[in-house]
Structures are given as structure tokens and as C-alpha cells.
Structure 1
Amino acid sequence: MKNIALNFCRVFVGLLFIASGLIKANDPMGFGYKLQEYFDVFHIAFLGDFATGIAMLLCIVEIVLGALLLCGFWPKKVTMALLVTIIFFTFLTFVSAFFKVVTSCGCFGDAIPLTPWQSFGKDVVLLLMIVYLYLQRDRISALTSSAALRTAILVCVTVLSLGFTLYTYYALPIVDFLPYKVGNNVPALMKLPAGQKGDEYEILYQLKHKSTGETKSMNDKLYLKSGIWEDDNWEIVGDPERRLVKKGYDIKIKDLNISDASGTDYTKELIENPYYNLVVVAYDLRKTDTAAFGRINALALKAAEAFNVRTVMLTSNAAQDAQSFSERNKLFIEIFYADAVPLKSMVRSSPGLLLFKNGVVVDKWSAAFLPDFETLNEKYLSR
């Protein structure tokens, strides 16, 4: 029975660490964005510029530790490393859940979104298993006793995980779990489907009696029904709190609003264009690949001349900064503005390029794998 329990914990923890590492390595930029949230919460924002690099390193470490545990190599060192890792993440998810500072932990990226409390529960279970593995570390048997073979497997796993992480960083996630993935109809994902209900909220008021000092909480329905609002002895203290009463249908895209420099809404016009149109995404022009903009600019010019394809750029920078960037780089691209959060979800690259038609994401590319006009023409525009 001891062997069964030991082997079960070893295989379960090992596979879970590998799966977690691979899912995050599939989208290292997304994991980096999540780390930036944690850095801001813990007031270490200076690490923000290194978030993606740290994210990539953590992905590789998770995969390697999981593989070594499965193989039973260096059990003392590996179980100690796992123990330190899980203690850190258990503390992190507890703080996130208890103080409600990060709404999603990012443990399994966007593939399996977990609430902070769900993530904390998962980490507690893992912590118990890893403690057991650490206490039983002397009983973990290795798949091979050959030191050379162990080293070779370690190097192979490390190189493969590093290569996979670097590829998805420079290209795009191999499996896209975001709402702007190829084939998705963006306008449809921005609406509440027929027959579905959205989230239900209530407004909570804090009331105080002017004479007695008595306080009470009351939601908006009871506040109106009771008629207490007509009693001058009661006053509302502080700001009303908007609280979720019932979770409704989760609209996949709820925060995409595109406007021009004057604030005019262009979301519908740009996203629902019935013809092919190119959308360049660069959420922060201070942290973008300017050389890639040269290639995009040439592509936009040829597409416009040959097929009258409209090309626009979406950024979260100030209008003055965006205009200066456009002038410096002589861009043949219209500029529009949106919040950084949906722009980061559109494409994990800065800049990134999306091809839309009638609201559908036809294709998208990272800065490192931009198509030339001939490829774009042959594959899409001339058909």
C-alpha cells in the first residue's frame, strides 16, 4: 500500500507539473502579463520589464521538475525544490484569494481558468502530496542508475522545454484559448446570446441614523420598498457597493471599445467590416518592434493598392504619442485606440497582425512571422 500511495503521488504530481508548465509555456506572454499583476500587487513593479523572462523560466522549471520526479532522478533535490515551489505558490494563491487582489491565478493559463480559492485548494492538495513525497524521498526509485543517462535525459528535457517556450514566444500559442483565436466571430462573442441572462447585481447602501448613530446595510430593492429614503433621519454613508447576486452567462468579449483620438466609437465599423481588413495591434508603442512595423507598412500599402484593403492600428498609448510614432516611422496606417487589456488578448505579440473579414478572425501573425504580400494575396485576398 505504501508503494501504491508513493507511486500515485509521484505520477500525479509529476504529470500535473508537466501539464501546468506546458500550458503556460504555450502562452509565455500571457503568463508574463499575469506575473505583472502579482508584481503590482506586491509593490515590486520594477520586475515588470522582466515578467516574460521570469515566466518562461518558471515554465521550464515546472516541466523539468515534473519530468525528473516521474523518472525518480535525484529525489532529495527534486522533492525539496518541489516543496519550496509549492509553498511559495500556496502562499501566493492564499493572498490572492483572501485579499481578492488577483481574480484569476493563471496556474493553467487561459486553458483552465481557476478562481483564486480554487487554485488555493489545488495547491493545498499538491502541498500535502509533495510533503509526503519529501518524507518518503529515500524510497523513490530511479528509472536508471546510469549517471550519464540521467544527465542526458535532464539535458534533453531542458532543451526541449526551452525550445518549445522560445517558439511560442516568437511565434504565437500553438493552441489559442483566447476569444480572438482564428475562426472566431468577434461581434457574436461581444453579445449576450438569445435566451441567456447576464450577471445580476444589487446595490448595497450603508445607512446611518443622524441622531442615534445606528448603522445598517440595505440593498437597493429594500431601500426603495421600505421608504427609508423618505426619512431625513437616515443618511447614506460612503459610496454604494455594487455586489454580484447571481452569476449569468459569461460574455467572452466584454471590454473591447475602439475609438479615434476624439473619442468617437468605431468598434462596430472596424470589427464588422464585411471586407478583408488588417488590424495591427501594439498595446504599448514604447515596447514594440519598430522593424516589424516597416514590414507591416509595406504590406498595408500593397494590400491597399491591389485590393483596397483597409489597415488600422490599435494601441492604448496617448493620441499624441501614437501620432508621433506614426510620423517617425512613416506609417500608412490609420490609428485607433483601445484599452490595453483586450489588445493583449487579441494577439500575443507587439506588434501583432490580424486579418478580419465580416467580424471573423481569418488569420493572425506575430512580429517574427509576418506574411509578405504575395503569401497574403495567394492565400486570402485573391480568392
Structure 2
Amino acid sequence: MKVVRFICRILLGLVFIFSGFVKGIDPMGSAIKFGEYFSAFHLSFLGNFSLLFSVLLASAEFIIGIALLLGLRMKIASWAVFLFMSFFTLLTLILALTNPVSDCGCFGDAIKLTNWQTFLKNVILMVPVMVVFLERNKFSVRYKPLGEWVTLGILFTGILLVIRYCYFYLPIMDFLPYRTGTNIPKAMEIPEGAPQDEYKTILYYQKDGVTKEFTLENYPWQDSTWKWVDTKTVLIKKGYQPPIHDFRFTDQEGNDITDLVLYDTRYVFLLISPNVQKANTAGIMQAKSLADLCHGGNCAFYALTASPFSEIRNFTEKNNPGFPFYHADETTLQTMIRSNPGLMLIKDGTIIAKWSYREFPEVERLKNDILGYAVTYYREKRESLTKTILILTLLLTLAVIKILQLNFDRRD
């Protein structure tokens, strides 16, 4: 039984760490998912707390996973994982039955699961959860409580710092369809022979005051006493959907400008603001110099938003950004970049770079070599991030070893 306890503890620890981490590196994505759930369950008043719930959920999952993986505070960790999984197993059953939101978001955008798949996953995980919970008193306590609490506190602080960085800038790992290097036209293609959506047509006919449902195969076309009432088309099987399927922009007159963006041979900068009223105004105004640079003809600039044109007009009159806004779907814009506003650079339909408004490129440096600047920016950012992660990992490892093995006495 000791081996079974060990396997169950490690398995749950890894699952919870992964789940918490992928949510933590995309806090805005998790906040958007919470907002969808709140709207579906008519709890819109909680919408302003979506980001808070996102941070709490990600950090809680991560620290529970760490506690299980390292065997720290096992009685508390056992109760935490039992209560956590019991609640979410019941919740996912409700979601599977009602299907208010198609994707549960339990693994962020890293792994997409339907509500029924999520429920089945939770049912399977409840097996090791029950093993850990029922055997919670048999896990050995190797270190003093203070050492374990300090270790968990350090790791909790670490995941909060990661979440903070990804919120203020952009996710350190991008699982979204619009990640850097993606060719948008190719990502919109449907492969030959791919499954198509399947629909069922329901015909409603009435006779003697009674309305009945018919299909195209059995409707009473030869009986004139039946009078047609209504026709409905129902999707019975979803076909293949390309990773990018809603990339479309229009101007204020409704003219489609998507091809102008995708097939422009110049560098194209897209200023993305899903909602101008919730955007950082200084960030939008910062893009004015970039728009002026593109007026010279070396590049193109488009500002995209999902806000109604009345709100765009009010924003323009108040702030005078100096460039027009084009319209797009809000979900599309939120998927393109996790910043409001954010900036995306594309060329020939391929995404070259993405920036949060807190790190918009310097126009003076762009004048000479746009591609060179983007490549240098990503190389420097990746090198800096790699060094930071390595240093923090080393310091964290040394701190944990010091706390657990040197500063505190081991228990037999």
C-alpha cells in the first residue's frame, strides 16, 4: 500500500502543478474564462473579481500540487485536494449536463477538453484522491512544521511572481492560436477531406391544432391537410474547425479589410484593444508615434477594437489618438494578445512579434530595421527570462535544501 500511496501522491502533485502553472502563466485567459462562467450562471456582478479568482485558483492548485509532490503538510494537503476535487467534480458534472461554456478551461489553453471529458478526468482523478485522503495519517512527517511552511511560502511567492510577470507583460509560454511564428492564412485553412459540420433539419407541421415534428425523410408532403409552421436547423455533429477561424476586420461602413491586413507585403502593425473603455489610454496614445511612422509608407498600421462605434467616437473625441479604429470580434482580439492594448507585428500573414503596452517598441529604433528590432527584442527577452528562471531555480533549490536539511532537524 505504501507504493500505491506514493504513486497517487506523485500523480496528483504533477497534475495540480501543471494545471496551476498553465493557468498562472495566462492569468488574463483564466479571468476571461471566469467571466464566461459568471455570465452563463447569471453572476455578472462577480465579473469585476474574475482576475482575482484567476490568481487564487492558479496559485492554490500550484501550491497544493507542490505540497503533494514534496510530501509537505500532508494532512492539510490531503484535505485540500479532497475538498478541491469533490467540489470541481460536482461542478463539472453540472457543466457537462448544462454545457453553458464549451471549454472548461481546466488546463488553460494548453489542453482543450470538453465538459464531459473534464468530468471523466475528474472522476478518474478521484481514485488517487480517495487513496491519499483515506491514507492521510500514514504519510510520514520528516521535517518540522516551520520548515515545511517556509518552503511552501517560498514556492507560493514564486508562483505569484510568475503570475504577476505574465499579467503585466505577456505569457511566458503562448498556447494560443496567434503565437509568434504562426502563418494566419495557413492556420485558417481546412484540410481536404476534413469532417464537415452535420446538421439535422426539423420541420414543424400543424393539423387539427396539433403541431408535430418531422424530418426531411418523413414530412407529410403528400398530405395537404398538414400546414407548415416552422423549420429549424440543428447542429448534431461539429466538424473540423481550424485553429484560426474568426479572423475578420471591418471599417465603420462594414467593408471587409481582412485581406488588406493579411496580404500586405509591408510590415503591418496591429494595435489591439478589445474594449477601448477598459484599455490603458496611455498605451493607446503611445501608439500614435508608431502610426505616424507607418504613414511614411514603409509599414502599415491598423487599430482594432470590438467596442461599438459610438464608444470609439467618444474615445476619439476625448483623446484624439490620430488614427481610425477598425472593428473585430472581441473574443478574437482577446485571443490574439493578452494585453489591452497590445501590439502585433505581422508580415505576409505571419506573426513576427507581440508586445504588451508596457513594452511597446521604440519608434526611433524601428526606423532603420523593423525585423532586426523584433528579432533582437525576442532574443534579449528570451535570454533575460532564461537567466532569471535559472537563477531563481538555483536560489530556490538551495533555499529549500537549506531549510529542510540544514536549518531544521529531520524526524525519524
With structure 2 as the length reference, what TM-score do the two structures score?
A: 0.85
**Letter in structure 2 aligned against 1:8:** I
Aligned runs of 1:162-181 on 2, under 5 Å? 162-181=160-179
Aligned runs of 1:18-167 on 2, under 5 Å? 18-142=17-141, 144-167=142-165
Over residues 206-251 of structure 1, what are the superposed CA-to-partner deviations in whole Å (9 max), with x where a residue is unaligned?
A: 4345038473442x4x2xxx57335333345555132234x43321
Determine if contact 1:18/1:62 at 8 Å carries over to the other structure.
yes
1:244 to 215, 233, 236: 236
Shift, 1:82, TM fit: 1.5
Q: Identify unmatched segments of 5+ residues in structure 2.
A: 374-412
Determine if contact 2:203/2:219 at 8 Å carries over to the other structure.
no
Aligned to 1:330: 320
Change (3 A) 1:83 1:352: same
Cα distance between partner residues in 2 of 1:300 and 1:52: 31
Change (3 A) 1:41 1:382: closer
Cα distance between partner residues in 1 of 2:209 and 2:327: 52
**Residue 362 in structure 1 maps to residue 315 in structure 2:** no
Aligned to 1:200: 197
2:272 to 260, 281, 285: 281
Change (3 A) 1:267 1:303: closer
Change (3 A) 1:43 1:248: closer
Determine if contact 1:285/1:325 at 8 Å carries over to the other structure.
yes
Change (3 A) 1:65 1:375: farther
Change (3 A) 1:209 1:303: closer
Cα distance between partner residues in 2 of 1:378 and 1:145: 59
Determine if contact 2:206/2:228 at 8 Å carries over to the other structure.
no
**Letter in structure 1 aligned against 2:189:** K
Over residues 107-161 of structure 1, what are the superposed CA-to-partner deviations in whole Å (9 max), with x where a residue is unaligned?
A: 111111001000001111222322221111101224x313332122111111110
Aligned to 1:215: 212
**Letter in structure 2 aligned against 1:9:** C
Aligned to 1:259: 250
Aligned to 1:320: 310
Aligned to 1:14: 13
SS in 2 for 1:229: coil
Cα distance between partner residues in 2 of 1:242 and 1:112: 28
Change (3 A) 1:25 1:236: farther
- Identical positions, percent: 32
Determine if contact 2:283/2:357 at 8 Å carries over to the other structure.
yes
SS in 1 for 2:287: helix
Aligned to 2:292: 301
SS in 1 for 2:201: strand
Cα distance between partner residues in 2 of 1:10 and 1:165: 25
Count of aligned positions: 373
Cα distance between partner residues in 2 of 1:121 and 1:80: 22
Q: Identify unmatched segments of 5+ residues in structure 1.
A: none
Determine if contact 2:206/2:229 at 8 Å carries over to the other structure.
no
Determine if contact 1:105/1:115 at 8 Å carries over to the other structure.
yes
Over residues 139-185 of structure 1, what are the superposed CA-to-partner deviations in whole Å (9 max), with x where a residue is unaligned?
A: 1224x313332122111111110011111111111221111111111
Determine if contact 1:196/1:249 at 8 Å carries over to the other structure.
no
Determine if contact 2:246/2:332 at 8 Å carries over to the other structure.
yes
**Letter in structure 2 aligned against 1:360:** T
Cα distance between partner residues in 1 of 2:219 and 2:153: 73
Change (3 A) 1:238 1:141: farther
**Letter in structure 1 aligned against 2:108:** G
Larger mean CA deviation between 28-37 and 322-331 belongs to: 322-331
Over residues 265-299 of structure 1, what are the superposed CA-to-partner deviations in whole Å (9 max), with x where a residue is unaligned?
A: 11111222221111111111111111111221122
SS in 1 for 2:346: strand
Determine if contact 2:201/2:231 at 8 Å carries over to the other structure.
no
**Letter in structure 2 aligned against 1:359:** G
Cα distance between partner residues in 2 of 1:147 and 1:291: 48
Over residues 71-105 of structure 1, what are the superposed CA-to-partner deviations in whole Å (9 max), with x where a residue is unaligned?
A: 22222222212222112211221111111211000
With structure 1 as the length reference, what TM-score do the two structures score?
A: 0.91
Aligned to 2:390: none
Shift, 1:64, TM fit: 0.5
Change (3 A) 1:138 1:236: farther
**Letter in structure 2 aligned against 1:140:** F
The alignment yields a C-alpha RMSD, in angstroms, of 2.1
Cα distance between partner residues in 2 of 1:111 and 1:343: 19
1:290 to 258, 271, 281: 281
Change (3 A) 1:299 1:67: same
**Letter in structure 2 aligned against 1:282:** S
Determine if contact 1:79/1:137 at 8 Å carries over to the other structure.
yes
Cα distance between partner residues in 2 of 1:97 and 1:344: 25
Cα distance between partner residues in 2 of 1:250 and 1:286: 32
Cα distance between partner residues in 1 of 2:206 and 2:290: 67
Determine if contact 1:106/1:114 at 8 Å carries over to the other structure.
yes
